[in-house]
Amino acid sequence: MDDRKPHGFSTAAIHAGQEADAATGATVVPIYATSTYTQAAPGQHKGYEYSRSANPTRTALETCLAALEGGERGLAFASGLAASNAVFAQLKPGDEVVAASDLYGGTVRLLDRVYKPLGITPRYVDSSDPAEFRRAATSNTKMFWMETPTNPLLQILDIAAIAEVAHKCNAILVVDNTFASPYLQQPLKLGADLVMHSTTKYLGGHSDVIGGAVVGPKKLVDPIAFYQNAAGAIAGPFDSWLVLRGIKTLAVRMDRHGENAQRLAEWLVGKKGVEKVYYPGLKDHPNHAVAKKQMRNYGGMVSVRFSSPEIAHSFMTRTKLFSLAESLGGVESLVNHPTTMTHGSIPKDIREARGVVEALVRLSVGIEDCDDLQEDLRQALE
């Protein structure tokens, strides 16, 4: 692919970093299942020495990720948390992180139970208001961290506005773009400094791989690449190949995810036993205008707060097409219980104060026929 010419998103997803194999002409990037590479003489090689440091399949994925997010360099990790950890590892004792409180439980666990004991202080903001992020910052704040849409309450944070706040505080803004994917929004173009993903989710798209990614400018990504090589949490060649395969259909999948989720969210509103529906595509969502401004569509995630934990538990055990399972972003629909799954590591009093209660259920709406998904929800509610 000629990178000097502009290409549309789907073209980049299919071609960026994925030229025909020079040795065989293979159209699809091969899985380079090798740990080491033969050198002509010490130091004379073809850019690859050892697959922890670099692997051609992983290079293809990293090149594609950078193209989709509009960054100079991408890195592929063994998991989303490995990617997050590599970013937090750039901080030093005494540094502070300002983060939105509605956050994946694994990220909270990493900050509170791994980095806080090392002298890095997280400060959580219980608001989507950029002014609250500014008030939470101190002279020691070196990083702002946010998801948008957030997990699991689907708040939308204004990336451009919070980036401006972060930069005024001489801090960088890192955006976890997992829920949106680069197809729905590109945080770097809105002022963010780094983007991370759990590629397990929408980028992989088929619930068959664990992976993570970081994308951004070389000056910020190069030190993270050093840490990645030193610590070793790299994506293997087969996992890289699976994510690359998933990315090829990302655009068409995200369109379908969004269409299905919008329809189901609207249908769920007002149903018996449903107390509240969280979805940024609903016009009464408090951040609907921001979502409309910075996203292509509103994504495939819908959260529902039922009128009692008993109704929520009954619902989760009665769905047939929606599988009760961890994770999200696959072609199949999933139902998740945040308090016992994704956010179970957060102390009960803290998560409930943030709105993650027993009666809350999170739906990852897949790409099945929407009539069938709606019928499944109907019978589960009854």
User: How far does Cα 175 stand from its chain's mean position?
Assistant: 9
- pTM, whole model, 2 decimals? 0.96
Using the 8-state DSSP alphabet, how is residue 24 labeled?
A: T
Strand order across the 172-176 sheet: 73-77, 212-216, 194-198, 172-176, 141-147, 96-100, 121-125
Q: Within 13 Å of residue 243, how many CA atoms lie on the same side as its CB?
A: 33
Class of domain 253-381: alpha beta
Per-residue confidence (pLDDT) for residue 99, from 0 to 100: 98
**Choice among 21, 37, 52, 245 that is catalytic:** 52
**Distance in angstroms (rounded) separating the CA atoms of residues 64 and 305:** 38
Q: Which of 90, 25, 74 is nearest to 240 (CA)?
A: 74
Q: Which of 355, 88, 118, 84 is nearest to 198 (CA)?
A: 84
| Residues 6 or more apart in contact with residue 299 via CB below 8 angstroms | 149, 179, 180, 184, 254, 257, 258, 261, 280, 281
**The pair of three-digit structure tokens given for residue 144, joined into one six-digit string:** 């702002």
**Choice among 123, 201, 256, 305 that is catalytic:** 201
Q: Is 2 a catalytic residue?
A: no
The total of other beta-carbon atoms located within 10 Å of residue 2's CB is: 6
**Distance in angstroms (rounded) separating the CA atoms of residues 230 and 228:** 6
Asked if the peptide bond before residue 30 counts as cis, ω within 30 degrees of 0, the response is no
Per-residue confidence (pLDDT) for residue 29, from 0 to 100: 97
Strand order across the 274-278 sheet: 274-278, 301-306, 360-364, 334-336, 323-324
Per-residue confidence (pLDDT) for residue 4, from 0 to 100: 58
CA gyration radius, the chain? 21
Longest dimension (CA), the chain: 73
229-254 burial: b if 16+ Cβ within 10 Å, else e: eeeebbbbbebbbbbbbbbbbbbebb
User: How far does Cα 16 stand from its chain's mean position?
Assistant: 20
Domain ranges of the chain: 9-247, 253-381
The two beta strands, 301-306 and 360-364, are antiparallel
**Choice among 32, 58, 102, 104 that is catalytic:** 104
Number of separate helices (H) and strands (E) present in the chain: 14, 12
Beta bridge partners of 249: none
Q: Is 95 a catalytic residue?
A: no
Q: Is 183 a catalytic residue?
A: no
pLDDT tens per residue, range 129-142: 999 999 999 999 99
Beta bridge partners of 32: none
**Distance in angstroms (rounded) separating the CA atoms of residues 203 and 218:** 22
Per-residue pLDDT tens digits of the chain, which is 382 residues long: 455 567 899 999 999 999 999 889 999 999 999 999 999 999 899 899 999 999 999 999 999 999 999 999 999 999 999 999 999 999 999 999 999 999 999 999 999 999 999 999 999 999 999 999 999 999 999 999 999 999 999 999 999 999 999 999 999 999 999 999 999 999 999 999 999 999 999 999 999 999 999 999 999 999 999 999 999 999 999 999 999 999 999 999 999 999 999 999 999 999 999 999 999 999 999 999 999 999 999 999 999 999 999 999 999 999 999 999 999 999 999 999 999 999 999 999 999 999 999 999 999 999 999 999 999 999 999 9
- Do 9-247 and 253-381 share a fold? no
Q: Is 124 a catalytic residue?
A: no
**Choice among 95, 102, 158, 176 that is catalytic:** 176
CATH number of 9-247: 3.40.640.10
The total of other beta-carbon atoms located within 10 Å of residue 380's CB is: 17
Residue with tokens 């809350």: 360
| Residues 6 or more apart in contact with residue 135 via CB below 8 angstroms | none
